[in-house]
């Protein structure tokens, strides 16, 4: 039997409606969840780095034109290693058999597979050691294959496998590994299969598995810690219903509107689960602490929502703004991630105001009866009271310490470097990363970049002066630590006049199909191909800088232009655009949050005070990254913006509740003692819930997820510390009761005064 409705404060209209029609709320929430689940069945996964840029971005367009003009393809690399040497009839015969097997696979451009056999143009003679030695000499003398298909130290044979489409990478790699396993010779060797297309697909498949494992695990941990707080499965289930429905609605909306599941959008469930539960934990925490003094749950719910509606509304808005600001980033997947998490946060806010009161009002009374204050609750209460006393008593030392850490962090932030590499998204001992590092160590490199030349005059690229300039540029590249090798049409000519150079290229094109990948028949477009030993953005940026310096000293002829292309360069471009976009998003978010704080508190000093903890936290965390040498990559860049919205939540609750208590009690010290009762316990429970919710990511097999888990848990913990230590130290010195006090929640004021008296 449910409690009858009693006279008391009126809750916000949407809460009142939910109290009157709780079953209708439940049916509507379930119907929307069912529709979202149906939409989610059409999920498509996308891990292609080029989709980090808009379709019409100049680098994407240039890469597409390059592939069409020079008939180039995405590649995977197969390496066979024998430290005693691979140049034996037995080993090379097995490698050549593998090459023929690969040429017969679906998804492979058969006539463009590169191996040592490509140097002779016919089936190689591998009958004895003498013929093998002759073949090795032929490969060493080949202008395009030397050092590539057979390593200089003779330990590695490589096959470069062009794909009709990068989506075939995983299937082709699996069949190659199967063929190697079936070979009685190659199965005894160390073998590696690598390449960016393979890394991207491997990441996509693992990404899906990681989210399928860690999102539910996060939910279980959150349930466990809420059970530790409330000891009532009914309250735990209510909060989890809010989190679960928020995730289902959001993912259904994302997939149903035709968006693909990218690395960023795959993180939405793990981000949204802890964040979505925050508002409901505040509500249920206060309901848990108050229910028992009266058994009229409608009266208690009205009291709770009346006191919390403003902080709930503004914390939800600031969190949503923090994510929505990511729409300002020029990276489509980050835009999608930000917008849909913002929608999920607002959905959680709506569910907190509707589903939570509806469920609580329908629960049997026996499911809600509050137990006596548990030992862990008493310990938490005593610990928080001590923290409040310490913050007030040591305010000068606290502010000096926090200021010192902020200054140290500001200096360390300047040491952060922007860098990323898709291969480094995997753990150091992962198969993909080990293969990449091994083959990049033994071969000129498995990461590609292209410098494209375009000439208005068809003869401009054939002049002796142009050929000499390209050779000097290649020599300059060769002296860097980044470029393992470079290949150009200049490698195919011996010199002479413009006409003789053109004739030599024509003859070379008749002998090898590789020539068409270096210069077009018209002679107006050339492709200078580079093999890089590192796919890091810093390596590519260094190469671009070296090339710019060269052209400053050796200008290109009039009518000839040079532009960069290739996957490694594309990664550099979107990383640079991400950094500038994140800076804009950060500034915008900070401005909007300050505006919202000004509207909420009607005070500039209080608005500035409310953002102090999160700014300090962001500075300290990113300062630690600078000192630790952690590069600034995509997950870290995204966190820098959205954490403003998340981190300010604690400060909003502190400032809002403290100002009400200050107006009621008339004394800053008494208001602080009162805050460190029920309000501080609710805030601490929230901090623990969200921090614990992200900890499963620390055990992920993908590096970006580990980084996100560690950083967010750290940011939440430091934000909680700054809110409950730095803010009390700040306000204790200058806060005064307002001339006209705001209306405070009656029960909250009574209980806060009782708690403050008990702790005095």
Given pLDDT bands bounded at 50, 70 and 90, which one contains residue 292? low
Residues 6+ apart with CB under 8 A from 353: 12, 14, 15, 18, 305, 312
pLDDT single digits (tens) 215-237? 788 888 888 888 887 778 888 88
pLDDT single digits (tens) 63-87? 999 999 998 888 999 999 999 999 9
Phi, psi of 734 (to 5 degrees): -130, -15
pLDDT at residue 370, as a whole number: 53
Given pLDDT bands bounded at 50, 70 and 90, which one contains residue 739? low
pLDDT at residue 642, as a whole number: 64
If one compares 143 and 241, the residue with the highest pLDDT of the two is 241
> Is the pLDDT at 760 greater than 50, yes or no?
no
User: Mean pLDDT in the chain?
Assistant: 86
Q: Where do the H-state alpha helices sit in 629-702?
A: 634-665, 668-675, 678-694
Phi, psi of 455 (to 5 degrees): -125, 135
pLDDT single digits (tens) 676-715? 988 898 888 888 888 887 888 888 888 888 888 888 888 8
> Is the pLDDT at 750 greater than 70, yes or no?
no
> Is the pLDDT at 38 greater than 50, yes or no?
yes
| Of 223, 267, 264, 634, the residue nearest 419 (C-alpha) | 634
Is residue 677 within 8 A of residue 751, CB to CB? The reply is yes
- Gyration radius from the chain CA atoms: 32
pLDDT at residue 745, as a whole number: 44
pLDDT at residue 2, as a whole number: 46
Average pLDDT over residues 723-751: 67
Give the up-direction half-sphere exposure of residue 21: CA atoms within 13 A in the CB hemisphere. Answer: 8
> Is the pLDDT at 212 greater than 90, yes or no?
no
N-term to C-term CA, the chain: 41
Maximum Cα interatomic distance, the chain, rounded to a whole number of Å: 102
pLDDT single digits (tens) 605-625? 888 998 899 889 888 988 998
> What's the CA angle centered on 720, arms 371 and 327, to 5 degrees?
115
pLDDT single digits (tens) 594-603? 888 888 888 8
pTM above 0.95, yes or no: no
For residue 749, the tally of other CB atoms under 10 A from its CB is 17
pLDDT at residue 333, as a whole number: 85
**Percentages helix, strand, coil for the chain, rounded to the nearest 5?**
70, 10, 20
Cα dihedral sign, 740-745-748-754: positive
b/e map 436-446, b = 16+ CB within 10 Å: bbbbbebbbbb
> Is the pLDDT at 166 greater than 60, yes or no?
yes
- Of 93-107, 320-334, 394-408, 543-557, the poorest mean pLDDT is in 320-334
Given pLDDT bands bounded at 50, 70 and 90, which one contains residue 246? very high
């Amino acid at each position: 039997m449910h409690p009858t409705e009693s006279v008391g404060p009126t809750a916000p209209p949407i809460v009142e409606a939910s109290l009157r029609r709780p079953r209708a709320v439940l049916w509507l929430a379930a119907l929307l969840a069912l529709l979202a689940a149906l939409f989610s069945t059409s999920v498509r996964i996308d891990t292609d780095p080029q989709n980090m840029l808009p379709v019409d971005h100049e680098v994407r367009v240039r890469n597409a034109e390059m592939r069409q003009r020079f008939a180039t393809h995405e590649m995977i690399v197969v390496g066979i290693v024998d430290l005693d040497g691979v140049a034996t009839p037995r080993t090379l015969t097995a490698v050549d058999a593998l090459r023929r097997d690969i040429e017969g696979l679906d998804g492979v451009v058969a006539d463009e597979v590169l191996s040592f056999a490509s140097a002779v143009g016919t089936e190689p003679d591998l009958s004895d050691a003498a013929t093998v030695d002759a073949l090795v000499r032929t490969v060493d003398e080949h202008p395009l294959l030397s050092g590539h298909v057979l390593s200089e130290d003779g330990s590695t044979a490589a096959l470069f496998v062009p794909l009709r489409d990068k989506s075939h990478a995983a299937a082709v790699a699996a069949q190659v590994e199967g063929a190697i396993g079936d070979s009685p010779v190659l199965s005894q060797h160390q073998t590696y299969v690598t390449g960016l297309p393979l890394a991207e697909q491997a990441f996509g498949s693992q990404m899906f598995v990681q989210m399928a494992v860690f999102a539910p695990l996060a939910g279980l941990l959150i349930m466990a810690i809420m059970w530790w707080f409330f000891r009532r499965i009914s309250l735990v289930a209510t909060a989890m219903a809010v989190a679960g429905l928020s995730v289902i609605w959001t993912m259904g909306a994302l997939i149903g509107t035709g968006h693909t599941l990218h690395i960023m959008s795959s993180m939405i469930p793990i981000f949204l689960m802890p964040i979505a539960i925050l508002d409901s934990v505040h509500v249920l925490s206060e309901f848990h602490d108050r229910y028992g003094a009266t058994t009229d749950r409608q009266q208690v719910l009205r009291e709770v929502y009346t006191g919390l509606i403003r902080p709930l509304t503004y914390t939800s808005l600031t969190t949503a703004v923090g994510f929505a600001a990511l729409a300002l980033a020029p990276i489509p997947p980050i835009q999608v991630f930000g917008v849909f998490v913002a929608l999920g946060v607002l959905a959680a806010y709506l569910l907190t105001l509707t589903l939570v009161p509806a469920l609580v009002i329908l629960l049997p009374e026996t499911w809600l009866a509050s137990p006596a204050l548990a030992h862990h609750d008493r310990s938490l209460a005593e610990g928080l009271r001590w923290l409040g006393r310490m913050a007030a008593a040591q305010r000068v030392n606290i502010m000096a310490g926090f200021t010192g850490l902020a200054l140290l962090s500001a200096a360390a932030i300047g040491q952060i470097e922007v860098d990323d590499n898709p291969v480094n998204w995997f753990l150091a001992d992962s198969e993909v990363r080990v293969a990449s590092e091994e083959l990049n160590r033994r071969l000129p490199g498995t990461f590609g970049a292209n410098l494209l030349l375009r000439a208005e005059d068809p003869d401009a690229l054939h002049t002796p002066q142009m050929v000499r300039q390209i050779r000097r540029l290649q020599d300059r590249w060769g002296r860097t630590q980044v470029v393992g090798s470079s290949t150009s049409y200049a490698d195919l000519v011996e010199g002479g006049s413009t006409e003789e150079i053109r004739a030599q290229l024509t003859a070379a094109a008749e002998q090898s199909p590789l020539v068409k990948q270096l210069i077009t028949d018209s002679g107006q477009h050339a492709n200078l191909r580079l093999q890089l030993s590192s796919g890091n953005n810093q390596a590519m940026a260094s190469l671009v800088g070296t090339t710019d310096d060269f052209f400053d000293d050796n200008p290109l002829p009039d009518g000839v232009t040079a532009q960069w292309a290739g996957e490694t360069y594309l990664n550099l471009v979107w990383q640079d655009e991400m950094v500038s976009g994140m800076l804009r998003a950060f500034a915008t978010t900070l401005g909007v949050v300050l505006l919202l704080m000004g509207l909420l508190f009607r005070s500039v000093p209080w608005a500035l005070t409310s953002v102090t903890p999160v700014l300090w936290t962001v500075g300290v965390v990113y300062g630690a990254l600078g000192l630790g040498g952690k590069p600034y990559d995509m997950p870290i860049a995204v966190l820098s913006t959205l954490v403003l919205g998340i981190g300010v939540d604690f400060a909003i609750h502190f400032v809002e509740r403290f100002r009400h208590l200050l107006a009621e009690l008339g004394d800053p010290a008494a208001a602080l003692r009162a805050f460190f009762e029920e309000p501080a316990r609710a805030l601490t429970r929230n901090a623990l819930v969200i921090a614990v919710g992200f900890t499963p990511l620390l055990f992920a097999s993908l590096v970006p997820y580990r980084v996100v888990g560690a950083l967010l848990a750290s940011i939440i913990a430091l934000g909680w510390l700054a809110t409950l230590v730095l803010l009390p130290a700040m306000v204790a010195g200058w806060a005064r009761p307002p001339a006209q006090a705001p209306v405070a929640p009656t029960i909250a004021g009574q209980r806060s005064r009782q708690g403050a008296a008990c702790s005095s």
